[in-house]
Every structure is written in structure tokens, then in C-alpha cells.
């Protein structure tokens, strides 16, 4: 996807919201378990219901890997469905991968070629050569972990201002215009510093909802001159109800956040 | 596996070597491609031939994910085969995962429950709560990235001595005795500093062979009072030949390294 398409979608839909499909088979409504592929069917139903009100879909690989190759098949079916029916939605493989170049190249193949995601989240710890394999692809994006939403962000990211070094260093890389950054909604005080370094980069913001980040504060602090944020909400939407009314409740939860939109 | 079993194996076999199954379907001998599951059959044949001369097997997930759910099935079949026939081999899922606690828990399920690996490589960037879910399991181990073998290690690991901070910080965590560390063989000058902080911890050392690390220097620099290292070799063994003599050539390459053993 071109960046301009993502930006236009945000303007037209008046939404920054990304649907996070962290789908745990033990948490989906029980009546779906009698279907052949309950996780895929759950994902499909949420996408069908919510696609007009979101601009992106993020799929966290952990929840699929926990169920082995069957789970991986659900992941493949979900991204195939998105690419076939809703190509206007920006897709994110939340995989937090990275390895030496030779191996990162294989991860890039997995997410950009085999499954055709628009973007993948990447951990910066192994440095430039572990990230650059992902940056070779046209119209594909790296979403680099900068400052995550969890408590442990203090241990190595905030320590020594490493998250700022990640921003500064990665800006110097080839194709750095294709880098977006993960910045947690639970860290609103840090947005000013971050925006002083990457004013125009897209930020992927998790941590709203179940993780406690405040939506209005986050939007206010994180947007800069353009509408360059993607706010992910997972559990607060997909598990809004555990019974047959889960789609109604999911849409209601989504509306709650979209209606708070300032711009 | 208990740590004492791994230590005993190293003593008895007089080997520190780990077979790295970075199996790329495009690089295995062509005659195997007519088999039903060529990647699995290639892995199986290498394990059968080399199991007496190695103490561990490391499977890098990237090479399997690149082929989607079929590749993931080969990964599952390989670890199942190891657990069924060679439970004495220490198994490593080289996955370099980590996420917020709720999600890391799913990765731990994938690698420790669903597939029953003995250990998994974990990226430290997201901090303690992203690692601790893996440390809950008895007789299972986290192999934390400290100083990797690639050039990009300079960008964030060596910068500000972050790799030393990772060692110091992680030592304070609960169950830290179950933490091992990745230290690249291409970084032998750093072993003295590393051993001053974690004298007894196991180090997983990649980068010997195709990546250019010298074997004797590495063994000398990295062992401390005990035989607490695991040296991984992947490409230099598994791709020692691209034709029907690949097992003979793989064994010859393995012998070359084992015969250099100093202790």
C-alpha cells in the first residue's frame, strides 16, 4: 500500500483505529467453537462488521503460533481474506521479528511475500543489518519498536534514552521513510520528545483500552502536522462480549473510541 | 531438560556443538525434493547421522515461516522427532521473540507447551515483563540476546554498553539461573567483560563457520570454570555439500570442529 492511500483513508473515514486481532481460541464466544475454523470465522466476522470504521488491521502472530501449524493456517486465511476483500485496510503483522541479515530476509519473505502484509513490527536490538532486509520491499513498511506500552519499557528502552537513540539512528538508514514506530499509549509524556525527532513518521500506538492508555490524551499528544498515527485496540473491542452479541458490542466499543476523535 | 544433564552430555561427548537447522528448501540437495516433506527428511537425516557428536540442536523459525503453515508443519515434525528419538539433545527454538506479558505468554505456550522445546531465544528490548513468562516453566530456559554476531550489534548493543546492562539487569530477575545468553563468536574480545558478569551462565555462541568467527579463539575466550558454552554451527555443516554425499560432508565438517576442542 502507498502511504498516501493510508493517509487518505484516515481523512475519509475520520478514524485512526486499527483492529487488533489477538485472537485467543479460549476467549472467543463459545457458540463459534462448533464451526470448522472458529478463530478464522471470528476474525472474518469482526472484519466484515467493522471494516468501514477502521483503517488498519493488526494480527499478533503469538496467538496463532500458540496453536501450532493449525493456528498458522488461521493466520494465513485471515490475511488472505483481508487482501482479497478489503485491500484498502493497512495490514500489520505484529511479529516483533529481527535476526541477522540472512535470516531477517526469510522473515521478510514470510510476511511480505508469502502472506503479503503491508507491514511488520520489528525489534531494533540487533541493529541496522537486521532491519534493512525488510526495507527493500516497495510499498511495504517496517514498524520499529521504539517505546512500548509495558512496564518493562523502563528496563532497556528508557534506560539511557535508548528509545531516542533508536529513532535517531534509524532515521539515517536507507529507505527510512518506510519506517514507522511503535510508541505505547501509556507513555503520553514522551510523545513531545519523540515528535521532535520523527515529526512526520507514522506512529503505531498500542495500549489504549485494556492496557489503560487514555484515548484523547494519546491522540492529542501523538498527532503532529498530519494525521500520522494508527491507534490499535485489541481486547477492548474483540472481547467486548463473550456471547452471541459480540459483533454488536465490538461495534459499540469501536464507536466509543471513534466518537472521541478530536480532529 | 535439567542443566546437569546438559553439562554431563558435554563432558561425555567432549563436544560443545549445536547443529543449527536453518533449513532453506532452495539450498538442500536437489535429490531430496522428490520426497514428500524434503525439509523434514533433510533435518531427520542430519540428526540421525550426527546425534552422537552434538549436544544440542537449534532450529531457526524464520526458515520455516518463510514457507507458511507447511513450513511450520516441518518445524513441528522436526522437534517431535527430536523429542521422540533423541531426548538427550538440548533443543533450542531460535525465534528471538518477546512481547508484552499477555502475548509473551502465548509465545511461551507455542515453544514450551505445543512444541516442547527446551529453550527459546528471546530479545531483551521490551524488558523484564516480556521475558518473565518464559521463565515460569520448570526445566525450560530463556536464551537472551546479549551481543549478537552481526555488524548491527554496534548500533544498539555495544552503544552505551547496553549488552552489559542486559546481563546485569537480567541477573536480578526471578529464576535468572534459567537464563542463558547469546554472544556472537565474532566478538571474542568482549568475552572477558561478559564472563566477569555472568561467570557461570551458559552462553549460546553463533557465528562460527560461515559468519567468520574463529573456533579455537572462541572456545578459549568463552569457557569459564565449567564447560558452559554451546557453539552453534549451521550453514558450514548442513550445506557442506549440495549433492548426495551431504551427510558424509556434514559429518566431516562437524569432526573438523570437534577435533579442535581444547579441553
A62–B110 CB contact, under 8 Å: yes
Query: Could you count the other beta carbons within 10 Å of the beta carbon of residue B42?
Result: 24
Report residue A92 as a C-alpha cell: 500489520
B60–A103 CB contact, under 8 Å: yes
| From A13, A53, A73, A96, active-site residue | A96
For chain B, what percent of residues have pLDDT higher than 90?
Answer: 87
User: Residue A93: pLDDT above 70?
Assistant: yes
Gap from B71 CA to chain A (nearest CA, Å): 8
Place of cell 531516542: A164
Residue B168 among the catalytic residues = no
User: Residue A244: pLDDT above 90?
Assistant: yes
pTM greater than the 0.90 cutoff: yes
User: Residue A263: pLDDT above 50?
Assistant: no
Beta-carbon pairs below 8 A across chains A and B: 176
ipTM of the complex: 0.96
pLDDT, tens digit, 9 for 90 and up, residues B106-137:
999 999 999 999 999 999 999 999 999 999 99
Chain B residue numbers with beta carbons less than 8 Å from the beta carbon of A148 are 100, 125-126
Chain A residue numbers with beta carbons less than 8 Å from the beta carbon of B92 are none
Chain B residue with Cα closest to A160? B160
Chain A residue numbers with beta carbons less than 8 Å from the beta carbon of B150 are 100-101, 126-127, 129-130
User: Residue A48: pLDDT above 70?
Assistant: yes
Residue among A66, A126, A211 whose CB faces B110 most closely: A66
Specify the 3-state DSSP secondary structure of B118: coil
B124–A155 CB contact, under 8 Å: yes
Residue B217: its pLDDT value, please?
Answer: 81
Specify the 3-state DSSP secondary structure of B107: helix
For domain B3-259, give the CATH superfamily: Aldolase class I (3.20.20.70)
pLDDT, tens digit, 9 for 90 and up, residues B162-202:
999 999 999 999 999 999 999 998 888 899 999 999 999 99
- The predicted model gives B234-261 an average pLDDT of 94
Chain B residue with Cα closest to A207? B100
Amino acid at each position: 500500500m502507498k502511504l498516501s492511500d493510508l493517509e487518505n483513508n484516515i481523512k475519509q473515514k475520520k478514524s485512526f483505529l486499527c483492529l487488533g486481532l489477538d485472537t485467543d481460541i479460549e476467549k472467543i464466544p463459545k457458540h463459534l467453537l462448533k464451526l470448522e475454523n472458529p478463530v478464522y470465522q471470528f476474525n472474518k466476522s469482526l472484519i466484515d462488521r467493522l471494516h468501514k470504521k477502521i483503517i488498519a488491521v493488526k494480527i499478533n502472530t503469538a496467538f496463532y503460533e500458540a496453536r501450532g501449524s493449525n493456528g498458522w493456517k488461521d493466520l494465513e486465511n485471515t490475511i488472505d481474506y483481508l487482501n482479497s476483500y478489503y485491500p484498502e485496510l493497512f495490514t500489520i503483522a505484529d511479529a516483533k521479528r529481527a535476526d541477522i541479515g540472512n535470516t531477517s530476509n526469510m522473515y521478510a519473505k514470510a510476511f511480505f511475500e508469502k502472506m503479503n502484509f503491508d507491514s511488520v513490527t520489528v525489534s531494533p536490538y540487533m541493529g541496522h543489518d537486521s532491519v534493512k532486509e525488510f526495507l527493500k520491499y516497495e510499498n511495504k513498511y517496517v514498524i520499529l519498536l521504539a517505546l512500548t506500552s509495558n512496564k518493562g519499557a523502563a528496563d532497556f528502552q528508557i534506560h539511557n534514552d535508548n528509545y531516542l537513540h533508536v529513532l535517531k539512528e534509524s532515521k539515517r538508514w536507507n529507505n527510512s521513510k518506510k519506517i514507522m514506530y511503535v510508541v505505547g499509549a501509556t507513555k503520553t509524556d514522551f510523545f513531545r520528545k519523540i515528535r521532535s525527532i520523527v515529526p512526520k513518521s507514522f506512529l503505531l500506538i498500542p495500549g489504549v483500552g485494556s492496557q489503560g492508555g487514555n484515548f484523547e490524551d494519546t491522540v492529542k499528544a501523538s498527532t503532529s502536522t498530519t494525521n500520522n498515527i494508527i491507534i490499535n485496540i485489541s481486547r477492548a473491542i474483540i472481547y467486548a462480549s463473550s456471547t452471541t452479541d459480540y459483533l454488536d458490542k465490538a461495534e459499540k466499543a469501536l464507536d466509543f473510541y471513534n466518537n472521541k476523535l478530536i480532529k
